[in-house]
Amino acid sequence: MTTSSASPKTTWQKIWIAIRFIVFGIGGFWLLIFCWIALIEGLSPHGARLLSVYLALPLAAAGALMMLFGGGVWGRWAYLWVFLSTPIIVSILMLLSPFLPDLPTLEILDPKLMGALVFSLPMAVSYTFVRRYYRRRDATKMNSIHKPSAPPSLEAE
């Protein structure tokens, strides 16, 4: 009985996966965060800019695509929601903050913990939903592959 595994078979493949993750995954993450900060800062009324707004948006998208490749999930486009969830949530909070009344702060939680929650919670929630989506999609694809097809009907002729 032979079993096939999805793990890499050679040392060079393992090295390539590590390099791909470091260069594209982590590099794409930092590119996305830098361009997102430049985009938010570019939309503010003051004069200093890190990067042009017109350049920051495509570079942020390129960073997100780099993260897909680096994480080994190229072609599973729903994972973009995981990478973009934190910038989207923080941008919405920044846009709504002038219009919201002073919210009572949670004095129980440390400000660093609140920052970590705001950063990681959207990613964790979106990752859960995306994983569930792909699990269901893969299960229905496997069911349709293993289901015998019905014979052609004589009425169709």
The two structure tokens encoding residue 71:
């994480």
Instruction: Give the pLDDT band of residue 102 (cuts 50, 70, 90).
Output: low
- Report whether pLDDT(129) > 50: yes
User: How far, in Å, CA of 131 to CA of 71, rounded?
Assistant: 14
pTM: 0.68
Q: Give the closest residue to 122 by CA, choosing from 76, 92, 82, 93.
A: 82
> Do the beta carbons of residue 151 and residue 106 sit within 8 Å?
no
- The pLDDT-based confidence of 119 (bands split at 50, 70, 90) is confident
With a cut of 90, say whether residue 30 has pLDDT above it. yes
pLDDT for residue 1 is more than 60 = no
Q: How many CA atoms lie within 13 Å of 52's alpha carbon, on the beta-carbon side?
A: 3
- Please give the pLDDT value at position 107: 60
